[in-house]
Amino acid sequence: MAGAATRADERPVTESPRPRRLRLLREHRPLALAIAAAAALRVVTMLGYRPAKLYWVDSFTYIDVALRMRPSGGYQPGGFQPSGYPALLWLLRPFHSVALVVGLQHLMGLAIGVMIYAVLRRRTALPSGYAVLAAVPGLFDARFLRLEHAVLSDTLFLFLVVSALTVLLWSPAPSPRAAAAAGSLLACAALTRTIAVPLILLAGAHLALGRFGPRPVLALATAGLLPLAAYACWFHSAHGRFSLASGDGVSLWARTMTFADCRRIEPPPDLASLCPTGVRQDAASEYVWAPDSAINRAPGGLAGNNDRARAFAVRAITAQPFDYLGDVAHDTALAFTWTPVPHPGRVRPAFGFARERSELPDQPAIAEARTRYAGDIRGQHSVDPYAGFLAAYQYPAYLRGPLLLAILVVGGVGGVGGVGALGRRRAASLPWAGAVTLLVAPVAVLDFDHRYLLPVIPIACLAAGLAAGDLREKRAARRREPPPHP
């Protein structure tokens, strides 16, 4: 009995829940303060702009697909992407509220910041205050508040990509189960926006180069590619071809219109009608919608000329590779200007919070969406003092282009000592490569868009945080080394 009592006395005392919560709160106080402030900003956004930002035609294309739950195959804004975002809208349909949709997206924005912080705290020795800095741009940049408040696919896309990176980076050696989970998340991201397809390949390369064994690579490839193959079969059943979305050829054709010279391309007769008409647009994407562009003059329009457009674009890029690369580099560089450059000139690239009362056009699709999806669908109107606060807040709360460039450099080079994505340490390699891919790939296949730039920022910040943590660890190791003997 005495021995049993002794063993009982030697058991560690379990920390009670309340002191444990207080200890965690003290340890993660910077994150708690940041999340509280970011959540307050999102509440102000929902109070200041009611019920949500609805774009004609993009938002209502997504809602239309959700109402019918079919593979998206339209040739209009919003119809160029798969049906991942409409699937989310379909799941939320029983609540009949677009305000709920954007409320959920605001929660996703907060979760993205928490995941970035959690990965940095787990994989690096960065203090809480430094780790939370990597989450600050995504939590506080006013552009993210506006994007989360719109019925658009971008917030879901970014949430899925950051979730996949979190799963893969949580452990230095990802298990097959973690790799499969990350592959599934990246597949969902690719079914939300096809630009995520290369991220599946990057994740597979990360696992292969990390020498974690064949099982994680196989698990990620299976979980990432099988859903895409299944969706392509569904798309074929509805539209007659294996694909994830419509318009890939049209998009690439529009990209070539900024430099295409048919005297050098020498297209065959069946493609010659897609040569530039001589009417110049100020951005490649404008050629998709301009009524006087060659593809809209051709019989069949966008839907009937997608394959021909792709064939023309491949010939143009092959004939003029340096012109193509030059235009891609020029448009990509727009991401790094101090003052946002309107591209195309008709859009307002930033500082979009304003006092407004907008009306939706009288369209059957809008009437159907209001009747069948959400009764709170209407033109957005601003409410003071919340809207006035956000209109002033957005000017300082904007990550300028040179700062984004610096973040990418830190993630890629990692500072002195060659750590980071391009050095001997590989913790930052996957998010850095993902950020660069999401920066360049949309420009390479269509055009630069300030909206499509936003997913780059949190992922680049994650890479920079990992690189900074590696640098800090390396310097600490040098300080611990014993001095050389005389």
Question: What DSSP string describes 157-187?
Answer: HHHHHHHHHHHHHSSSS--HHHHHHHHHHHH
Is the pLDDT at 114 greater than 60? The verdict is yes
How far is it, in rounded angstroms, from Cα 325 to Cα 321? Answer: 6
Q: What is the DSSP string of 214-268?
A: HHHHHHHHHHHHHHHHHHHHHHHHHHSS--SSS-HHHHHHHHHTTT--HHHH---
What digits encode the pLDDT tens for the residues 244-263?
988 889 999 999 999 999 99
How far is it, in rounded angstroms, from Cα 312 to Cα 340? Answer: 32
Compute the mean pLDDT over every residue in the chain, rounded to the nearest whole number. Answer: 90
**More confident position, 6 or 440:** 440
Is the pLDDT at 222 greater than 60? The verdict is yes
**Please, what's the b/e burial string for 2-36 (b: 16 or more CB within 10 A of its CB; e: otherwise)?**
eeeeeeeeeeeeeeeeeeeeeeeeeebebbeebbe
Contact yes or no for 222/182 (Cβ under 8 A): no
How far is it, in rounded angstroms, from Cα 184 to Cα 200? Answer: 10
- Look at residue 294 in the predicted model and tell me its pLDDT: 93
Is the pLDDT at 304 greater than 60? The verdict is yes
Q: Residue 284: what residue type?
A: A
Mean pLDDT of 416-424: 54
**Please, what's the b/e burial string for 94-109 (b: 16 or more CB within 10 A of its CB; e: otherwise)?**
eeebbbebbbbbbebb
Is the pLDDT at 21 greater than 50? The verdict is yes
Mean pLDDT of 114-126: 95
> What percent of the chain is predicted at pLDDT more than 90?
74
Q: What are phi and psi of 352, to 5 degrees?
A: -90, -10
Is the pLDDT at 433 greater than 70? The verdict is yes
What pTM does this model have? 0.92
When mean pLDDT is compared across 4-8, 250-254, 385-389, 422-426, the lowest value belongs to 4-8
How far is it, in rounded angstroms, from Cα 367 to Cα 139? Answer: 34
Give the model's confidence band at 415: pLDDT under 50 very low, under 70 low, under 90 confident, else very high: very low
What digits encode the pLDDT tens for the residues 134-185?
999 999 999 999 999 999 999 999 999 999 999 999 999 999 999 999 999 9
Contact yes or no for 196/190 (Cβ under 8 A): yes
Give the model's confidence band at 301: pLDDT under 50 very low, under 70 low, under 90 confident, else very high: confident
- Look at residue 9 in the predicted model and tell me its pLDDT: 47
For residue 122 the two structure tokens come to 């787990």
Is the pLDDT at 14 greater than 80? The verdict is no
Mean pLDDT of 226-244: 92
How far is it, in rounded angstroms, from Cα 32 to Cα 40? Answer: 12
Is the pLDDT at 73 greater than 50? The verdict is yes
